Structure 1
Amino acid sequence: MSPTDIDTQANDLLQFIDASPTPYHAVRETARRLTAQGFRELDERESWSLKPGDKVFVIRGDTSIAAFQLGTKPVDTTGFRLVGSHTDSPNLRLKPNAPVNRHGYQQLGVEIYGGVLLHTWTDRDLSLAGRVVTLHNGRPQHHLVDFRRPLLRVPNLAIHLNRGVNTEGLKLNAQEHMVPVLGLESAGPAELKGLLVEELGRSGVKAAADDLLGYDLCLYDLQPSTRSGLHGEFLHAPRLDNLASCHTGLTALLKDTGPREATVGVVLYDHEECGSRSAQGAASPFLKDLLERIVQAHSDGRADAFHRAIRRSFMVSADMAHAVHPNYSSMHEPKHQPQLGGGPVIKTNVNQSYATDGESWGYFAALCKEAGVTPQHFVTRTDLGCGSTIGPITAGQLGIRTVDVGNPMLSMHSIRELAAASDVARMVAVLSRFFA
């Protein structure tokens, strides 16, 4: 892996993350990159006309996206080669009736989305971004917004009023202690609808407060992604879990869009962090619907074509992995301690929190060997619970062979996470071999 390639891929990942403060923006940025490489969008409500070599993508719910390049051979004879990831990350999200006035402060009520490390969200310059729904000509219309300026803050309690915080730990109640401040009541009203109308106006959308029908708004840290370390070897960024895996899958798909025999694709789901149970999550029929329609348009037409295609298919479930922590090494299984900068991690759990088995492990290990990369392995300590991914969900729904992998990282589910710059290019190299 050349230093130039490492720098290029790492810096491009940071640009991808900064353009994607929410799943809505991540899908928009993904679609922008696909369109620039000749992919065209398909509408699930319409009939599709597909032919070998077509490059297409589909968006569902504004937060999940799947892209495919059809192979030169019928898909029922080659199967699909798929990379699956997720666009969402743990964060704070506004409640429907968000404005709260307490003790002279104007605040916005939030819900906790996913498994947030709450303390990392305190004393940060926070902004708002997401989707707003307005009434236009009698019909709902969706718009993306991003305030891109310091707007909110969750202030810590002074140590003078919490003397035991450094010895007993910071204990945060999500309902009481995580409500961000927006302003002072004495400074004048700051109506949320007015703020949204003003922000929509900046992007050319004319709307009145009465036109606002709903919103899906996320808080995010304004500090840009960056590199650090003596040699720039570290990446510091929000949402590495799991935009980093979305980026590597997408980059590998777009790295060489010349003719391929097999049909290849990526599927980037929303709602993994809260269980995948939604119309566009991994537990939905989103991927199955798309694969069935592709088989129908790109096979020999026999009734069992879809089932034959699935049995010839393989999925790489790409989600970030736990690197060994230098200050908490005892929390890691002694023989499975992935290193930052050590390359892709194969994740295994015999109770199927990960979908990896000996066959899929061997398949991915062979790809690593072809790419000149040595894989690492992760297994959770036997006395600890294991997190899960979209891998077992997809494998269980489709019966598709699946391996769970990811690049190693620290500070998972923090507002700012840490990974190694060199691992980005390594994973792209392996997934490029997978798509070749």
Structure 2
Amino acid sequence: MSQPSRFDRGHTDDLMSFLAAGPSPYHAVATAAERLEKAGFRHLAETDAWDGTSGGKYVLRGGAIVAWYVPEGADPHTPFRIVGAHTDSPNLRVKPLPDTGAHGWRQVAVEIYGGPLLNSWLDRDLGLAGRLTLRDGSSRLVNVDRPLLRVPQLAIHLDRTVASEGLKLDKQRHLQPVWGLGHDVRDGDLIAFLEEENGLERGSVTGWDLMTHPVERPAYLGRDGEFVAGPRMDNLLSVHAGTAALAAVAGGPGAADLPYIPVLAAFDHEENGSQSDTGADGPLLGGVLERSVFARGGSYEDRARAFAGTVCLSSDTGHAVHPNYAERHDPTHHPRVNGGPILKVNVNNRYATDGSGRAVFAAACEKADVPFQSFVSNNSMPCGTTIGPITAARHGIRTVDIGVAILSMHSARELCGDRDPYLLANALAAFLEG
């Protein structure tokens, strides 16, 4: 197979920088927006009136971003080509009253977000990142990207049953990280620390959305460096690929003549059901697409025509065949790392792919000279889901579920192949071009 021409190993190097820059959904979308602005996109406030001019535009809301490129002369009923992804990852998030501790240890009270592999968060050096809301209503992104917290594991000498019965963790009692010493636990300590860290006036912070993250850098791994190990690949790998693909298509020589309006929609809260104003089950995407139609002078009829011709690729990581647990996979579907993106299928609509959607994705991969693989769950195992079925049902948009095969999904540190990220980006670019 010939090497794809649009992206190379430099794309994977850039992915690792993107992962490191996105310890929270808020940081991830800010990083994506910065890259899109360098490609000529401009920010639109949802509270402003929109015009129908051509070019690249984007909307930010919390941990979500929707970006689109309007070709010159696009009709109001021009369909969209959407790459969908999500910005959130399972982790430990700070509670409303964060200061706690016992027996001379100062700790941070955390809640479990999504479905993390809990054991992977033990004995890791953790930083703290997210968003602070100030008394005047403004917000500030914060990132303490150094070893600050740790969830210490109990020594085996104090729990001999681990050897025979395996590790058992109580989510309330066993996952509160330590971050200092002192018998006098004072309310406000953690927030006061973050105010000082970020040059803010004491008492100026009145709200927060904070989460832990492992501070170890992403890295190449393996005999020939053929793997990438890093945090939050589920699903910043797809967000990064979609951002790169949209910027490449919008900046390409044929951008003015694109037959579709290419879109990137990266949502928050997929890991806990997508039901929020920034989730795939919320109004954000539909509102942006409708406003784009109406800003170009379109009617409801134009909106209906545009949506009827629209296709979305829901891009999320999937499961590579695990060499130590091959029996957990379907016996005839064994996606491999560096084998190209995967097409996800489930007849019970846990994924949105059908035969016509497969044809769309196959055409994009053929155009990009990218191989792809098929994924289906073992019949005896429950199948996960994505934003794909939600997007299809909420907006009446034909949707196809795809992604990259990885190991250690929902671990604090996941593993993918070094070639798969740019193979995915090439397929997404070809899809957006139409």
User: Shorter-chain TM-score: what band?
Assistant: over 0.9
TM-score (norm. length: structure 2): 0.95
Native 8 Å contact 2:106 2:185 kept in 1: no
Task: Report the alpha carbon displacement of residue 428 of structure 1 after superposing the two structures with TM.
Answer: 1.0
Q: Which runs of 5+ in 1 are unaligned?
A: none
Stretches of structure 2 lacking an aligned partner (at least 5 in a row): none
In structure 2, what is the equivalent of residue 28 of structure 1? 30
Deviates more, 1:161-170 or 1:271-280: 161-170
How far the C-alpha of 1:74 sits from its partner, in A, is 3.2
Residue of structure 2 equivalent to 1:68: 68
Report which stretch shifted further, 95-104 or 339-348. 95-104
**2:147 alignment counterpart:** 150
Question: Aligned with 1:305: secondary structure?
Answer: helix
Deviation of 1:6 (Å): 3.2
Say whether 1:8 aligns with 2:4. no
- Helix, strand or coil: the match of 2:153? coil
**Of 222, 225, 232, which residue of structure 2 is paired with 1:239?**
232
Instruction: State the secondary structure of the residue aligned to 1:148.
Output: strand
* Cα displacement (A) at 1:3: 9.9
Equivalent-residue separation in structure 1 for 2:332 and 2:73 (angstroms): 43
> Displacement of 1:211 after TM fit?
1.9
Letter in structure 2 aligned against 1:296 = F
User: Match of 1:166, SS?
Assistant: helix
Q: Distance in 2 between matches of 1:407 and 1:211?
A: 42
Paired residue for 2:269?
Answer: 271
Q: 1:303 to 1:127 in 2, by over 3 A?
A: closer
The DSSP-based 3-state class of the residue aligned with 1:147 is strand
Code of the aligned partner of 2:326: S
Q: Does 1:252 align with 2:240?
A: no
* 1:362 pairs with 2:362: no
CA RMSD of aligned residues (A): 1.6
Report the equivalent of 2:106: 106
Distance across 1 between alignment mates of 2:181 and 2:406:
39
Deviation sequence 1:87-109 (CA, Å, 0-9, x none): 00000000000111211111111
Q: Distance in 2 between matches of 1:77 and 1:412?
A: 39
Q: Report the secondary structure of 1:386's partner residue.
A: coil
Q: TM-score, normalised by structure 1?
A: 0.95
CA distance in 2, matches of 1:340, 1:319: 15
Distance 1:389 1:125 in 2: 30
Give the SS at the match of 2:216: coil
Query: CA 1:185/1:35 → structure 2, altered by over 3 Å: closer, same or farther?
Result: same
Instruction: Judge conservation of contact 1:38–1:55 (CA < 8 Å) in 2.
Output: yes
Whether the 8 Å CA contact 2:7–2:426 is kept in 1: the answer is no
Note if contact 2:19-2:231 (Cα within 8 Å) is conserved in structure 1.
yes
* Residue in structure 1 matching 2:341, options 344, 354, 362: 344
How is 1:94-243 mapped onto 2 (pairs within 5 angstroms)? Answer: 94-135=94-135, 139-185=136-182, 191-201=189-199, 206-208=200-202, 210-243=203-236
Inter-partner Cα distance in structure 2 for 1:102 and 1:352: 47
Q: The residue matched to 2:9 in structure 1 has which SS?
A: helix
Distance in 2 (CA, whole Å) between partners of 1:19 and 1:212 is 23
Question: Pick from 414, 427, 430: which aligns with 1:430?
Answer: 427
CA shift in 2, pair 1:76/1:337, >3 Å:
farther
Determine the structure 1 residue equivalent to 2:372. Answer: 375
1:318 partnered with 2:315: yes
CA distance in 1, matches of 2:83, 2:431: 9
Cα deviations by residue, 1:255-306 (Å, 9 ceiling, x for unpaired): 132322321110000000000011110000100000110111225x343110
1:413 aligns with 2:406: no
Q: Could you give the per-residue CA deviations for residues 127-181 of structure 1, whole angstroms, max 9, x where no partner exists?
A: 101001111xxx2110011111211100011111111213321110100000101
Whole-Å separation in 2 of the counterparts to 1:303 and 1:213: 42
Aligned residue for 2:19, secondary structure, equals helix
Structure 1 match to 2:385: 388
Counterpart contact for 1:239–1:417, Cα < 8 Å: yes
Distance 1:41 1:4 in 2: 26
Question: 2:99 touches 2:185 (CA, 8 Å); kept in 1?
Answer: no
CA distance in 2, matches of 1:296, 1:51: 12
One-letter identity of the residue aligned with 1:277: Q
* Map of 1:82 onto structure 2: 82
Q: Percent identity?
A: 44
Find the partner of 1:44 among 25, 43, 46.
46
Distance verdict in 2 for CA 1:2–1:287, change over 3 Å: closer
**Equivalent residues, number:** 425
Measure the CA separation in 1 of the matches of 2:395 and 2:290: 11
Aligned residues of 2:343 and 2:374 also touching (Cα < 8 A): yes
Q: Distance in 1 between matches of 2:356 and 2:325?
A: 32
Larger displacement relative to structure 2 (113-122 or 424-433): 424-433
In structure 2, C-alpha distance between the alignment counterparts of 1:242 and 1:76, rounded to whole Å: 32
The 8 Å contact of residues 29 and 87 in structure 2, kept in 1 or not, is answered as yes
Distance 1:103 1:3, change over 3 A: farther
Q: 1:6 is aligned with what amino acid? A: D
Counterpart mapping for 1:286-297 below 5 A: 286-297=284-295
* Kept after mapping to 1: 8 A contact 2:339/2:420: yes
Structure 1 residues 75 and 108, CA, compared in 2 at 3 Å: closer, same or farther? Answer: farther
Q: What is the SS of the residue equivalent to 1:151?
A: strand
Change in Cα spacing, 1:3 to 1:432, as seen in structure 2 (3 Å) is closer
Assess, with a 3 A threshold, how the Cα gap between structure 1 residues 268 and 174 changes in structure 2: closer, same or farther.
Answer: same
